[in-house]
Structure formats: structure tokens, C-alpha cells
Amino acid sequence: MDRIDVSILSILQKNGQTSMSKLSEMVGLSLSACHRRVKILESEGKIASYAARLDAKAVGLEIQVFIEVKLTSQRQEEIDAFESAIKRMPEVLECHFISGEADYLMRVAARSTSDYERLYRGRLSQLPSVSQMKTLLSLSAVKEFEGYHLG
């Protein structure tokens, strides 16, 4: 990737609706050259998709919860069972296999603490292979993900 590709990616991750003509102007390329670069970045998988970034509170998701999860064992069947169940849960926004005391770190958004409690009692507590879950309630976000720093 050269500096023009980095510029294109930086602009598009801030605003995926930037028009091709505006993008080409911003990076100093002709419209056709810029379009070709974007198509190459897409085909190489550097641009995975385009999506709208929602304001969680504006859509009624008032709280963010992080959950540390420990599994009963590190056997592959246990890991597979847990990961398979997580992938079927749209309420789980992210789930990362991590190092440290916990095995996984998950992020969930909920409308309220009682909404989260229903999710916890109803679905999260039923996850296979889990020995312990620790819920961490986010009080406020100091900085949220706005895109990758490429430069």
C-alpha cells in the first residue's frame, strides 16, 4: 500500500458515503484512477464492506457491557461449542479470544440493566463450556472505535 491507498482508506473509513469524485479530488487522482484504486482495495479485501455507524443511544441501546468469560477447559470441543453458540447470538457485538485470566472478552449493548439481566439469565448463562462470567458495565466511553490508524 502506498500513501494514496492509505489516504483512500482513511477517508472511506471516516465516511463511506464520500462520492468517488470528492474522493479523487481529496487524494489528487483522476476519477477513473481513484475508482480503479478503490476497486483494487475492495478485491484485495482491504475494504471488507461499507456500513452505517449507528449512535447506540439514539437507537435505544443505553448501556455497553463487557463480559470476561472463562471456559471449563481448553479442550477443542469446548472451545468449538462456545464459539459456535456465540456466533449465533446477535446480541453479542464482539467476542475476542484473549490471553490472561479470562479466555474471552465479549461486548454487548443493551437497552437497560434489566434488559441485560434478561439476556444474561436467558441466554448468556446457558452458553456451553462456561465456568465463570464477569460482567463489567461501561459507565461512559472516553474514546470509541472510529477506524484504524493507518499512518
List, for residues 44-86, the tens digit of each pLDDT value: 999 999 999 999 999 999 999 999 999 999 999 999 999 999 9
Q: Is residue 69 part of a domain?
A: yes
Domain span at residue 9 reads 3-43
Average the pLDDT over 88-92 and give the result.
96
Residue 55 lies in a domain: no
Burial (CB count <10 Å: 0-12, 13-18, 19+), residue 63: middle
Q: Clarify whether residues 91 and 124 are in a common domain.
A: yes
Could you count the other beta carbons within 10 Å of the beta carbon of residue 50? 10
Instruction: Compute the distance between CA of residue 16 and CA of residue 61 in angstroms, rounded to an integer.
Output: 23
pLDDT tens for each residue of 3-23: 999 999 999 999 999 999 999
Q: Within a 10 A sphere around the Cβ of 143, how many other Cβ atoms?
A: 5
For 146, residues 6+ apart whose C-beta sits below 8 A from its C-beta are 14
Task: Give the model's pLDDT for residue 139.
Answer: 96
Bridge partners (DSSP) listed for residue 70: 132
**What phi and psi, each to the nearest 5 degrees, are found at residue 20?**
-60, -35
Instruction: Please state the domain count of the chain.
Output: 2
CA pair distance 5, 27, nearest whole angstrom: 9
Residues 69 and 130 occupy one common structural domain: yes
Residue 17 belongs to domain with CATH number:
1.10.10.10
pLDDT in the model for residue 8: 97
For residue 151, pLDDT beyond 90:
no
Nearest C-alpha neighbor of 130 from the set 75, 74, 82:
82
Q: How confident is the model at residue 94 (pLDDT cuts 50, 70, 90)?
A: very high
* pTM summary value: 0.88
- What is the tens place of the pLDDT at every residue in 113-138? 999 999 999 999 999 999 999 999 99
HEC profile of 96-147: EECCCCCCEEEEEEECCHHHHHHHHHHCHHHCCCEEEEEEEECCCCCCCCCC
Mean pLDDT over the full length of the chain: 96
For residue 120, tell me if it sits in a domain: yes
Q: What is the tens place of the pLDDT at every residue in 21-37?
A: 999 999 999 999 999 99
* Rounded CA Rg of the chain: 20
